[in-house]
Amino acid sequence: MATNEAFSRVQIDAQLKDQGWNVLDTNAVRFEYVLPDKTKADYVLCDRHGRALAVIEAKRACINPAEAEAQAKGYAEQLKAPYIFLSNGEEIRFWEWQREAFPRPVKTFFAQGDLERRAGRRFQDEKRITITTLQSMVNIHSSRCAGAARARPRARASRSSQYLIPSTFVDSLGSFTAPKGKVRHECVLH
**Mean pLDDT score of the chain, rounded to an integer?**
77
| pLDDT (0 to 100) of residue 182 | 40
3-class secondary-structure state, position 29: strand
DSSP string, 89-121: SS-EEEE-TTT-SS-EEESSPPPHHHHHHHHHH
Identify whether the C-beta of residue 111 lies closer than 8 Å to the C-beta of residue 123. Answer: no
Domain ranges of the chain: 3-110, 135-190
Report pLDDT digits (tens) over 137-179.
666 666 665 555 555 544 444 443 333 334 334 434 444 444 4
The pLDDT-based confidence of 132 (bands split at 50, 70, 90) is low
CATH match of 3-110 with 3.30.960.10: no
DSSP string, 64-82: -GGGGHHHHHHHHHHHT-S
